[in-house]
Amino acid sequence: MRYPFIVSILLASALIAQDNNLKMPEISLIGDLSWVGRSIDDERYSDLSIPGLTHAHHADDGHHHATINAKRGLNLNYAELMLSSAVDPYVELQAVLHLSEEGVEIEELVATTTSLPWNLQARAGKFYSRFGRLNAKHHHVWNFSNQPLVYEAFFGPHNLLEKGVGVEWVSPLPFYLAIGGELLRGENENSFGEAGFQPASAGENFHQKVEPSSQPGVTTLYLKGSEEFGDLTLLAGASWARGSARLNHLREAKPHAFAGTTTLMGVDLTLRYDFAPHRYLQFQSEWMTRTMEGMKYVPTENNNSWDMTKTSAITKDQAGWYGEVIWGLSKEWRVGARLDGITKNVARKPDDLYQYNLMAEYNPSEFSRFRLQFTRDEARVDDAENRVSSNTLILQWNLSIGAHGAHPF
């Protein structure tokens, strides 16, 4: 397998560079393990879906990410290898390799400018979009071990991670205000997708072919600001994204597909009050809406074979949110609670889908963390669309070595 060989070459090259006093990138390695106890077995849990939003079984999407906290018992979730350095006085380069038992993937490879005029900054490569508040943060800096429901529903397990370009302008005002936009490929399989498809395999009654989306597939715009009022810090943002959608689920148990456009809008708010160093109270929330407009394709059976397809124009309006409170008790201890909700869904699908999360966290040092989390999930259904609730207890251990920049709160 060539991926471990590539990683070995990268590490060996870094050591050689260090020994010879050559220009050395900052290197860090982060590992994440967990022990999971769940009230239902692994196979049944993997068969559950969020009605109208996610599917239990997806074909291979080309990712080598192992599902985090997937199985009861001990999980080796991932290791994350990060390398970053200034290329020259004009550009910085950062690479993040995601390593799991499934394989190795270039999670991010992004070049960022450092000396553009007029407070501008540009980036290009593969990166997490700056849509929303949580999207651009890596899993190891989340306040909880799992995604909020609305992120899982609209973006899937990898958030909005895309190849593309972006530009951002920071205003010269006395408070922080940034305006930016991105042109992305649009590969996200939950809300966009770029590959075309043939709805019917044969037959005389249907010959239409859905073409791939044009490039760039997705455009995003965002506004972010923050200000301090004594010991109170306020952060707020608004985001918008629109792009082509090509969602192909024709090979699933209930085959269907969609071609059209998706529009996403979101707002976020974070408030943090610092009582003393390492003692604070923080509230964070995001609300998102999604509108999908286009054609739905459903194959029809004729003599035990799929040979034609019914089409219908549809509009799907959906919305969800989360709100979380984090209490920093000391440098070592934090506790928190988060409520997730899907509060608007498509016709004949439930719109009272909720998930409840509680966590307590111990940080022996800035390089390690132990987290105990309880999750009550009431948002999923089985193949017969019967609601199935579950309780999950997670003990997560996250540790890091090497040079790693400070994380924003």
Question: pLDDT digits over 100-145, tens only?
Answer: 888 899 999 999 999 999 999 999 999 999 999 999 999 999 999 9
pTM of the model: 0.90
pLDDT over 70 for what percent of the chain? 86
Query: Given this model, what pLDDT does residue 1 score?
Result: 44
Query: 299 pLDDT band (50/70/90 cuts)?
Result: confident
Secondary structure letter of residue 40 according to DSSP: S
pLDDT value at residue 58: 46
Q: Residues with Cβ < 8 Å from 62, sequence gap 6 or more?
A: none
| Residues 355-375, mean pLDDT to the nearest whole number | 97
Integer Cα distance of 332 and 147 in angstroms: 23
Asked if residue 285 has pLDDT above 80, the reply is: yes
Enumerate the H helices of 182-301 as residue ranges: none
Q: Which helix (H) or strand (E) holds 366?
A: none
In single-letter form, the type of residue at position 349 comes to K
Across 179-218, b (16+ Cβ under 10 Å) vs e yields ebebbbbbbbbbbbbbeebbbbeeeeebeeebeebeebbb
Neighbours of 38 (CB within 10 A): 19
